[in-house]
Amino acid sequence: MLYPISFIAALSLLILWFSYKNKESNARLFSKLFFLSLGVYGVNLFLQDATFGYKLMALSRDLMIMGGAAFFASILLKKKQFLVVFLAIIGVLIGKFYFATMINTFPEQLKTSSSNKPDIIQEDPSTKETNEPIVFDDSWELLVDLKEGSKISDLEAILKKYDLTDFELAFTMEDKAVTDLADYYVINIPDNHSQDFQKILIDLDKSENVDYVEGNEVINIAPMRPEPLPKINRKFGINDPALTHLWGFETMEVDKLYNYVNTNNITPNKKAKIAILDTGIDGKHEDLKDRFFSTKPEYDMDVVGHGTHCAGIASAVTNNAIGVASFAPNNRFVEVTSIKVLNDFGGGTQRTVINGILEAADLEVDVISMSLGGRSNSCRLKAYKDAIKYANKKGAIVIVAAGNSNTNAKQYSPANTPGVITVSAIDTILNRASFSNYIQDIEMGIAAPGVKIYSTTPTNSRTGKYAAFNGTSMATPYVAGLVGLMRSLNPKLDTKEVYSILKQTGKSTKDTKKTGKLIYPVEAIRKVVE
């Protein structure tokens, strides 16, 4: 609590300092108190249990708010009668909107920040080697699947016992009749029963009205650290100037793909839709806008940059003399859209991701690309399973990142969910990337380049319009882009058929058992066409 309180104190004192700048004694007092509060704020910010990059994002956001308030104060507070009104307006805005945002700023930390609730960690022996706790959302801790025909009121005895008055339907979808997800509720555990988490789980699990209960796990993307740019000399027959940085194109021999499509005059049977479930996409980016279609305006911006980077890998406009390129040789084959399931700090929950899957499926997209996930185990997969089944029934093929913890992907969700194609990352010499989870125990695992991957970033980001990053997050949209191209040529392909083609036509890596085959676009497309 000291973090948001110290920020509000610093902001208030800054405004007072501006208001009394003509009275030297008052101005001196408020300036000293301001710097003291600012120091307390800074210490609390950087003591939070989060990565340095994440803290910098929080700092940038807070200073932007503080600077904006100071600017308006300098303009509006020339007359003292406006002081109380202005402070009241600032107080209402902070109290109603920004205070809650600050309280929940740090999804990376192990302890929740909005209450005195302890870490809610569910241990599983099969995941001990990762040494990562499973943390549940502190607003909606539980996902409860009611049995068919049961109502939430049938749980009245348990709800009263633990004061569980805060609950709502968990998921939204068009075709409720074809999925059990329509029977899920999310339940918030109040502070006075935070120690009863396991008891509540047990009581709900024993109820004759409950089919299944699990925690609503927190999901975070890995911090994005720019990497040095690689350099290649291969020619691809297209005019995008940043091709010299796409070592993955050289390794996958993408020039052969373009040559095959052009020589054989291959045309699509439809324009395949690829949905990037992530932090949003900068839909106005110079190298994306001609292939981007919007579903909601709030999805068409990306503060973090993660979603935009993934979108460029999957579907950057090819041969437009700008930036990078993707597998689709022209704009007739694929288009891309954004479903924002992670917030502006790269955090989300199992619920937000599943709702994103359902939303994308209801849009009848061809490919769902998810460069996200968190530690889990095969015992807690029912909600993800139901969501993937729903997406598959709607015709979507789901591509998921294996994870970046150098361990078994079977311990990560949704990477371990049946029905998805899970993607590991390789480096420039075809080794499994040092961070990449391995996929030998995954039903459908495949590999793609995931080190020093140069792609699009939001136009106004600190890295400029393009940057190189590492991660299975970067490998995943390579596969999504290729699958989109495949679906544009044969819209009837299902997940298993697509995976079979990718595996049959893929190239071996230096550790194929752990990475799966490396996608080889020209042969995959040849297999689809022929």
- pLDDT single digits (tens) 258-287: 999 999 999 999 999 999 999 999 999 999
Share of the chain above pLDDT 90, in %: 64
Which pLDDT score is estimated for 392?
Answer: 97
CA dist., res. 313 & res. 456, Å (int): 8
Q: Which residue in 278, 287, 302, 427 is the catalytic one?
A: 278
Angle at 302 between CA 296 and CA 303, to 5 degrees: 135
Min mean pLDDT across 26-30, 347-351, 381-385 is at 26-30
Separation of alpha carbons 378 and 380, rounded Å: 6
Residue 97's pLDDT is 54
User: Alpha-carbon distance 396 to 274, whole Å?
Assistant: 9
- Mean pLDDT over 123-132 rounds to 36
Examine the pLDDT at 473 and tell me if it is beyond 60.
yes
Mean pLDDT of 185-198: 92
Say how many CA atoms lie within 13 Å of 378 toward its Cβ: 10
Q: Which two tokens stand for residue 13?
A: 């004192």
pLDDT at residue 8 in the model: 75
Residues 192-215, mean pLDDT to the nearest whole number: 91
Residues 6+ apart with CB under 8 A from 68: none
Q: Residue 167's closest CA among 137, 136, 189, 182?
A: 189
Maximum pairwise Cα distance, the chain = 84
Indicate whether 124 pLDDT > 50.
Answer: no
* pLDDT given for residue 57 in this prediction: 75
pLDDT at 137: 79
CATH number for the segment(s) 125-216 = 3.30.70
- Taking the CA atoms of residue 339, residue 347, residue 413 and residue 298 in that order, the dihedral angle to the nearest 10 degrees is -10
pLDDT higher at 102 or 388? 388
Q: Quote the pLDDT of residue 118.
A: 31
Q: How far apart are CA 502 and CA 355, in angstroms?
A: 28
Residue 516 has pLDDT above 50, yes or no: yes
Distance between CA 179 and CA 181 in Å, rounded? 5
- Interval 432-443 mean pLDDT: 96
Which tops the pLDDT comparison, 101 or 227?
A: 227
Residue ranges of domains in the chain: 2-103, 125-216, 241-529
511 tagged catalytic: no
Q: Above 50 in pLDDT, residue 453?
A: yes
Tokens representing residue 296 in the block:
């909601």
Q: Residue 182 corresponds to which amino acid?
A: A
Residue 112, pLDDT > 50, answer no
Rounded to an integer, what distance in angstroms lies between the CA atom of residue 175 and that of residue 183? 12
Task: Average the pLDDT over each of 25-39, 49-63, 231-245, 434-448 and give the range with the smallest value.
Answer: 49-63
* Number of CB atoms found within 10 A of residue 321's CB: 9
What's the pLDDT at 101? 59
Q: Using the structure block, give the residue that is written with the tokens 């995959």.
A: 524
Write down the pLDDT at residue 125.
28
Query: Residue 54 has what pLDDT?
Result: 66
Residue 76 has what pLDDT? Answer: 63
Q: Give the pLDDT score at 291.
A: 98
State the pLDDT at residue 116.
36
Say what the pLDDT of residue 95 is: 62
Q: Pick from 31, 3, 28: which is nearest to 114 by CA?
A: 3
Looking at residue 106, its pLDDT comes to 55
Entry pTM: 0.78
Amino acid at 129: E
Distance CA 445, CA 513 (A): 10
pLDDT attached to residue 464: 84
Active site residue 473: yes
Coil, helix or strand for 526? helix
Q: Closest Cα to residue 145, out of 218, 205, 226?
A: 205
pLDDT at 115: 36
- Arithmetic mean of pLDDT, 349-359: 96
Report residue 450's pLDDT band, with 50, 70 and 90 as the boundaries: very high
Tell me if 230 sits within 8 A of 428, measured CB to CB.
Answer: yes
Angle among Cα 140, 146, 148 to the nearest 5 degrees reads 150
Q: Which residues of 248-287 are buried (b: 16+ CB within 10 A; e: fewer)?
A: bbbbbbbbbbbebbeeeebebeebbbbbbbbbbbbbebbb
Where residue 108 falls among pLDDT bands split at 50, 70, 90? very low
Residue from 282, 306, 371, 461 carrying the catalytic annotation: 306
Which residues does residue 401 pair with via DSSP β-bridges, in sequence order?
A: 423
- Per-residue pLDDT, averaged over 186-199, amounts to 91
Q: Do the Cβ atoms of 370 and 400 come closer than 8 Å?
A: yes
- pLDDT tens digits, one per residue of 371-391: 999 887 555 678 999 999 999
DSSP assignment letter at 507: B
Tell the residue number behind the tokens 């700023």, with chain if given: 105
Q: How many CA atoms lie within 13 A of 427 on its CB side?
A: 10
Find out whether 402 and 431 touch, Cβ atoms under 8 Å.
Answer: no
- Per-residue pLDDT at 111 exceeds 50: no
Distance, CA of 480 to CA of 371 (rounded, Å):
10
Helices and strands (H, E) in the chain, number of each type: 16, 16
Percent of the chain with pLDDT over 70: 85
- Name the superfamily (CATH) of residues 241-529: Peptidase S8/S53 domain (3.40.50.200)
Residue 191: CA count within 13 A, CB half-sphere? 5
Rounded alpha-carbon distances, angstroms, from residue 498 to 271, 329, 346, 381, 445:
17, 20, 30, 23, 12
DSSP secondary structure code for residue 297 in this structure: G
Q: What is the pLDDT of residue 273?
A: 98
- Phi-psi region for residue 188, left (φ > 0), alpha (ψ -120 to 50) or beta? beta
Cα–Cα distance for residue pair 420/296, rounded to 1 Å: 26
Say which DSSP state 336 is in: E
Residue 499's pLDDT is 98
- Mark residue 167 as left, alpha or beta (left: phi above 0; alpha: psi -120 to 50; beta: remaining): beta
Supply the pLDDT for residue 397.
98
Q: Are 501 and 393 in contact (CB under 8 A)?
A: no
Cα separation values, 392 from 229, 357, 387, 399, Å: 38, 10, 9, 12
Q: pLDDT at position 55, please?
A: 73
CA dist., res. 481 & res. 485, Å (int): 6
Q: How many CB atoms lie within 10 A of CB 512?
A: 17
Q: Is-catalytic flag, 306? A: yes
- From 12, 207, 405, 473, active-site residue: 473
- Asked whether the bond before 491 is cis by omega within 30 degrees of 0, the reply is no
